[in-house]
Amino acid sequence: MATMDSLPPIPTPVAQRWREFRIQILPIITFVAILSMTVMMWRNFVQPSGLAGDAEVVKANVISLHDGVVDEPRAELSQSVTNSQVIGTIVGTDPDVLKAAVATVEAELPSTRP
Amino acid sequence: MNGLDWFFNGDYGSAAPNWPAMFLGLLLAFGAGQIIAWVYMLTHSGLSYSRSFVNALIIMPTLVSLVMMVLSNNLITAFGMMAVFAIVRFRNILRDTLDTAYILSVLVIGMACGTQKFSSAVLGCGLLSMVLVFLWYTSFGSRHRYDIIVNLHWARSMKEIEDLRRILSRHSWKTHLANQRSHEGYEGTDLSYRLLLRDSNRVEDLLSELRQVTGVSRVTSMLAEDESEL
């Protein structure tokens, strides 16, 4: 604090002021600039090296109300399907035809015995 | 970035370089080194303080960061580097830590060129040079800065020293009484001041004004060069 009888300071040349600036202030300005660039790059480019998460598997059972053989499957393995989408065709077998075939075989059995 | 693809494609390492990560690593090392250097300057006590060592504290993290990037987990290159460094160290006595940093700098740049990491070599050379010029230009690490040492004899009482201080404050930003000597049977006090001048071209004006103060005699001065604190 200047006292009442303090003498006026002599003027400081620009070169002298610049010397003080580059020695005292410039390192701080440089550090702040580096810190800002580091924070900016850190936020933009640093990514987590690993990822943790939960995986949920959705399962659905596809059944047919009638007996038969799958014919012309229309979906590939691991293909996503939606509700009411046709994914295959079941070729059904009539029970009366089966009974008739069994009866025919049974009728033919005695004639084949020696 | 597309315009600089020719430059960033100049690395033929085993793994593709991540340029933003590399730049971030070098910047972070530089900033962290600056913090460590400031802490060292603040906490160091004793006579062994060295501005050159403080500069080495800043350049070393950046340098080591570049070394690790160039090595990129290659054990053979690492052994080669240590061998070359040992040969250089064997034939030269490096008394200054900063000299060691310079040797390490040229080694890592040579390694980068030899392992065909051309972009890393150019980037590392540019950044290291900028840091070294920055340290020189800002006189980083100088703690006790002063332009001149003024010795004088003060014949009056020390209670009246304010008359002298007014003259010193008029000519200097900072005034530090480095030495004060008086003994029995000796009239007055010998004083030694360190001054950071407002205008280093007006030293004669300062000395002239000091000689006009009543009680001041035997005024001598000694200019301090930048190299006074190594």
Q: Chain A partners of B169 at a C-beta cutoff of 8 Å?
A: 6-7, 9
Q: Look at residue A12 in the predicted model and tell me its pLDDT.
A: 86
In the prediction, which pLDDT does B229 show?
57
Q: Find tokens 């597309």 and name the residue.
A: B2
Indicate the pTM of the whole model.
0.69
Of A12, A31, A44, the CB nearest to B31: A31
Confidence (pLDDT) at B228: 54
Cβ-contact B50, B41 below 8 angstroms: no
pLDDT digits (tens, 9 = 90+) for B66-105: 998 888 777 888 888 888 888 887 777 878 888 889 988 9
pLDDT of residue B56: 93
Q: In percent, how much of chain A has pLDDT > 90?
A: 16
Cα-flanking dihedrals φ and ψ of residue B151, to 5°? -110, 140
For residues B108 and B67, what is the distance between their CA atoms, to the nearest angstrom? 6
SS percent in chain A: helix, strand, coil, step 5:
45, 5, 50
pLDDT of B18 over the 90 cut:
no
Find chain B residues with C-beta within 8 A of A31's C-beta: 31, 34
- Alpha carbon B103 to its chain centroid, in Å, reads 18
What's the pLDDT score for residue A1? 45
Contact yes or no for B205 and A10 at CB 8 A: yes
Place of tokens 């990822």: A51
Average pLDDT over every residue of A20-48: 90
* Per-range mean pLDDT, top range of A29-38, B107-116, B166-175: A29-38
Cβ contacts of B145 on chain A, cutoff 8 Å: 23
User: For residues B120 and B46, what is the distance between their CA atoms, to the nearest angstrom?
Assistant: 40
Write the CB contacts of A5 (distance below 8 Å, at least 6 apart in sequence). Answer: B166
Q: Do A45 and B197 touch (CB under 8 A)?
A: no
Min Cα distance B107 → chain A (Å) is 26
Q: Round the average pLDDT of chain B to a whole number and report it.
A: 85
Would the ipTM clear 0.85, i.e. be above it?
no
Chain B residue closest to A16 (CA)? Answer: B199
The minimum CA-CA distance between B175 and chain A, rounded to whole Å, is 13
**Residues in CB range of B42: below 8 A, 6 or more apart:** none
Residue of A nearest to B165 (CA): A6
Phi, psi of A98, deg, nearest 5: -65, -45
In chain B, residues with a C-beta closer than 8 Å to the C-beta of A43 are: none
Residue B27 with chain A: CB contacts under 8 Å: 34, 37-38, 41
Question: Contact B32/B61 with Cβ under 8 angstroms?
Answer: yes
Alpha-carbon distance B150 to B178, whole Å?
10
B166·A22 Cβ contact <8 A? no
What's the rounded Cα separation, in Å, for the pair B69 and B92?
27
Mean pLDDT over B113-119 rounds to: 87
Chain A closest-CA separation from residue B82 CA (Å): 31
Neighbours of A48 (CB within 10 A): 6
Strand residue runs (E) in A20-76: 68-71
Nearest alpha carbon to residue B69 among B115, B100, B106: B115
Residue B36: per-residue pLDDT: 95
Pick the range with the lowest mean pLDDT from A59-68, B78-87, B119-128.
A59-68
